[in-house]
Amino acid sequence: MTLVQNHQQQLSGNKFWCIIFMSCFLMACSPKVTTRKTPQKDAGAQPAAVVKTEKKFTDASIALLIPFNLNTTNIQSGTKAEMEKSVMAIDFYQGFKMGVDSAAASGLNFRLKVLDTRDNTEQLNSLMKSGQLSGSDLIVGPVFPDGVKQITNYSVSNGIPVVSPLAATHPDEFLNPNLISVVNNIDLHAEKMSGFIAKTFDPAKTVVVLISTRKSADEALAIPIRAYFTKDKGAKFTFQEYSSVYAMETARVPGKRYVVLVASSERQFVVATIDKLSKMRNAGMQIDLFGHPNWSKQNYNTDKLQLLSTRITTSYWVDYKSHAVNSFVKKYRSLYHFEPGEYAFKGFDSGLYFGKLLAARGANYLQYLPVEKYKGLQNSYVFKKDEQLGYINTSLFLLEYKNYALNPVE
């Protein structure tokens, strides 16, 4: 069972929005659970071997910090960006609630505190100082990097783990040993692509080419790729780097297969790059293209992407042919009368995984994070512990454009 405690400030003067929001919470509430004191945590200890946790929760308290922005959002005059933030928050909350409810089927009661951060530092400080987060066994959110950074001291001083559910920011910007980073940082994307290339292609027959403009946005991906193929396992490959694909063409070595990694997601640059690579491929050059993770959210010529056997990495992918996915979609429609969006899937996977972890492992659940793997509707979790940075999800997908769709290679 799940008790939802709603501490939101309703948006005055907007009847339509309030009706939508309140209906979400009315549909979510379930019978009351027993109040309990928060058990002591042992977040730093690691077991020599995984054993059954002796101390169990009778019920678990989860605080969900999310930017509903109900104090400012106006459905008639609000900007598109403001509306999208609120819709994202509601979508994530509804999916998360469904996940926790599914986990509650194991017999553990959950107390879910849903708190509006308003994407505002003063509001988040108020929530921490007012004691609304005290007694939490787990805090999920804030969802944006500034909020995750702001809650770090509170998390460390109170020994409460914090899940960063949506931010792809590298955890070295937070330095919180209690942080649980769900979304893969850019270094992991570079490692996934580079590792696949190293085990798939023959170094004797392959030239690896990095295309980077050396702008800061490109360098976030280019730096770890460059290091892998010059200093790490990929050093056995012939490695070249150019600021554009046009410079690459002039240095072509006949008979070689070219694996091209493009570190940019700037649309104009990417379109020109794909066009030129396609012409080179049609002229007989063997080319395999690896793109920036952001390409999955952008729209490029599918025929050209397939011609180049284009692959990209991503933290999430939904198989709509899956029975589990179809069941979730039907249940979501039934509950909320809307189609589940990207954030509903993210919310469900987070709610189910952490709910089941709390139920199975009890008060010392954190130390079992590295061994509890999860394959969800949209995300997969394989956590690695870092003593300074916390728990980092290392599982991500490599997708290939094939048959006019993006499907997992591995």
Q: Which of 341, 372, 338, 342 is nearest to 355 (CA)?
A: 372
**How far is residue 138 CA from its own chain's centroid?**
18
Query: In degrees rounded to 5, what are phi and psi of residue 143?
Result: -95, -15
Q: Are 57 and 39 in contact (CB under 8 A)?
A: yes
Distance of alpha carbon 285 from alpha carbon 279, whole angstroms:
9
Each residue's pLDDT tens digit, 79-136: 556 667 788 999 999 999 999 999 998 888 999 999 999 989 999 999 999 999 999 9
Phi, psi for 52 (deg, rounded to 5): -70, 130
Q: 186-314: same fold as 2-184+320-396?
A: yes
- Measured distance CA(31)–CA(110) in Å, rounded: 11
> What distance in Å separates the CA atoms of residue 59 and residue 37, rounded to the nearest whole number?
10
Rounded Cα gap, residues 410 and 150, in angstroms: 36
Neighbours of 155 (CB within 10 A): 22
d(Cα 205, Cα 258) in Å, to the nearest integer?
9
Confidence band, pLDDT 50/70/90 cuts, at residue 250: confident
Buried residues in 294-316 as b, exposed as e (16+ CB within 10 A)? bbbeeebeeebbebbbbbbbbbb
Of 208, 76, 69, nearest to 142 by C-alpha is 69
User: What distance in Å separates the CA atoms of residue 353 and residue 164, rounded to the nearest whole number?
Assistant: 14
Give residue 249's pLDDT: 80
Owner of token pair 């209906």: 23
The two structure tokens encoding residue 4: 């939802």
The continuous run of DSSP H or E covering 139 comes out as: strand 138-140
Task: Name the residue with higher pLDDT: 345 or 248.
Answer: 345
CATH dotted code for 2-184+320-396: 3.40.50.2300
Length of the chain in residues, anyone?
A: 410
| pTM (2 d.p.) | 0.85
Q: Which residue has the tokens 């403009």?
A: 213
Give 13-69 pLDDT, tens digit per residue.
333 343 344 334 433 333 333 223 333 334 344 333 334 444 567 789 999 999 988
What does 173-203 look like in DSSP terms, one character per residue? Answer: GT--TTEEE-SPPHHHHHHHHHHHHHHHS-T
Judging by DSSP bridges, how do beta strands 397-402 and 405-408 pair with one another?
antiparallel
Class of residue 81 by CB neighbours under 10 A (exposed 0-12, middle 13-18, buried 19+): exposed
- Identity of residue 245: V
| Cα–Cα distance measured from residue 112 to residue 100, given in angstroms and rounded to the nearest whole number | 9
> In the CATH scheme, what is the homologous superfamily, with its name and number, of domain 186-314?
Response regulator (3.40.50.2300)
User: Percentage of the chain surpassing pLDDT 90?
Assistant: 74
The structure tokens listed for 202 are 């023959």
Q: Are 237 and 206 in contact (CB under 8 A)?
A: yes
Pick the residue with more confidence: 76 or 365? 365
Q: Give the integer Cα–Cα distance in Å for 164 and 30.
A: 26
- Provide the terminal-to-terminal Cα distance of the chain, rounded to the nearest Å: 37
Question: What DSSP character marks residue 142?
Answer: -
Print the SS3 string covering 263-303: CCCCHHHHHHHHHHHHHHHHCCCEEEEEECHHHHHCCCCHH
Domain borders along the chain are 2-184+320-396, 186-314
Q: What confidence score (pLDDT) does residue 187 get? A: 97
Query: What confidence tens digit (pLDDT) does each residue in 209-245 have?
Result: 999 999 999 999 999 999 999 998 899 999 999 999 9
